[in-house]
Amino acid sequence: MAQHAITLTINGEWEQVVVPSQMTLLQMLREKLARTGTKNGCMAGECGACTVLLNGEPVNSCMVLAVECDGMHIVTVEGLMQDGVLDPVQHTIIEHGGVQCGFCTPGILISARALIDRNPDPSEDEIREALVGNLCRCTGYLRIVDAVKDAAALSRQAATL
């Protein structure tokens, strides 16, 4: 079983990890580094609970090998909050009541953040389309979509300040 020493940043901090070839990024985060905010929902790239940012782009971390991430930058749900201040997507999802059991929430927040980063003023349909890879069983999605719309507006405001 080949082991690989890799170096990468997680939420801005450098980490050195030794991983076997077949270890996924998700497993590395959860099992090796005990960063359990990212959830394991299906291991098949379908549910989106494990979504993280890889060099700024959202990926299903169950569909990426840890070894492939050597030298890359990872952001997980734990990295959204800056200096104790919630990211707008975190703030608005609470405000809109878009959290129930909370298992899909980390992945939803990462997808939402990524959407706003690439499209600062998304329409309702664009938000819905950007979230189809994040299954939620509790909320029925409507409050999440509204929250993302508000978070985009908040993010735009913050950018112009």
Partner 1 sequence: MTINAHPELPEFDYIRPATLEEASRFLSDHAGEARPLLGGTDIFVRMRDGFWHDKYLVDVKNLDGTDNLHFHPTAGLTIGAGVNMNRVMTMLEVQQYYPVLAEACRSVASYQLRTRATIVGNLCNASPAGDTIGACMLYDGVLKVHGVDGYRDEPLKTFFLGPGKTVLKPGDIATAIQLPRPPAGSTGTYIKLGRNTWSDLSIVGVTALGSREPASASGYSFHVALASVAPVPLEVPAVHSYLSENNITPEAFIEAARLAQQACNPIDDVRGSARYRKAMVKKLTEKALLITLDRLEGRE
Partner 2 sequence: MTIETDISHKIPHPIGDNVPRVDAREKVIGSALFADDLQFGPGLLYARIKRSTLPHAYIKRIDTSRARQLPGVKAVVTGEDYPGLIGLYLQDRYIFCRERVRYVGDPVAGVAAISEEIAEKALDLIEVEYEPLPGVFDPEFGASPEAPVLHPDLGQYEVANFIFPEPGSNISNHFRVRKGDVEAAWVQCDAIVEHKYRSISQSDVQVIAPYVGGGFGCKAGVSMEALAVAIAWKLRGRPVKLRLTREEEFYASFVRQGVVAHFKMGCDKDGRLLAMENKFFWDGGAYTEYGVNITRAAGYSSSGPYDVPNMKTDSYCVYTNHPVGGPMRGFGMPEMHAGLEQCIDELAYAIHMDPVQFRKINCIKTGSTLITGMTMHPTGLTECLVKAAEAIGWGRKDPPSAPNKRRGKGIALMWKAPAMPPNAGSSAKVALNEDGTVTVSVGGQEIGQGSFTIAAQIAAAALGVPVETVRVASPLDTNYSPYEWQTVASRLTWSMGNAVSAAARDARQQILEMVAKAWNEKPEDLDIIDGKVISYRSEESIPLKNIVIYGISLPNNEGWVGGPVLGRGTFMPTYVTGLDAETGQGPRAVVHYTVGAQAVEVEVDTDTGKVEVIRGVAAFDVGKAINPDMVKAQMEGGFVQGLSTALFESLQLKEGILQNPSFVDYRIATSADVPHNIQAIIVETPQDDGPWGARGIGEHAMVPTIPAIANAIYDAIGIRVGAPPYTSEKVYLAMLDAGLIEE
Q: How far is the CB of 129 from partner 2 (least distance, A)?
A: 6
| Nearer Cβ to partner 1 (15/31) | 31
Say whether residue 59 binds partner 1 (CB under 8 A).
yes
Which listed option, partner 1, partner 2, none, makes contact with residue 141 (CB within 5 to 8 Å by class)? partner 2
5 forms beta bridges with: 18
Say whether residue 33 binds partner 2 (CB under 8 A).
no
Contacting partner 2 within 59-88 (CB under 8 A): 76-78, 80-81, 86
For residues 6-42, one letter each, b for 16 or more C-beta atoms within 10 angstroms of the residue's C-beta and e for the rest, the string is: bebebbeeebebebeeebbbbbbbbeeeebebbbbbe
- Tell me the CA distances in angstroms from 79 to 13, 32, 76, 116, one per residue in order: 10, 18, 5, 16
Say whether residue 42 binds partner 2 (CB under 8 A).
yes
Which listed option, partner 2, partner 1, none, makes contact with residue 60 (CB within 5 to 8 Å by class)? partner 1
Q: How far is the CB of 47 from partner 1 (least distance, A)?
A: 10
Q: Which stretch binds partner 2 (CB under 8 A): 66-74, 113-121, 137-145, 152-160?
A: 137-145
Which residue type sits at 22? Q
Pick the binder of partner 2 from 106, 114, 151, 155 (CB under 8 A): 106
Location of structure tokens 């878009």: 98
Dist CA 26 CA 137 (whole Å) = 21
Q: What is the 3-state secondary structure (H, E, C) of 107-141?
A: HHHHHHHHHHHHCCCCCHHHHHHHCCCCCCCCCCC
Residues lying near partner 2 in the complex (CB under 8 A) are found at 30, 34, 36-44, 46-47, 49, 76-78, 80-81, 86, 90, 93-95, 97, 99-106, 109, 124, 127-129, 131-132, 134-145
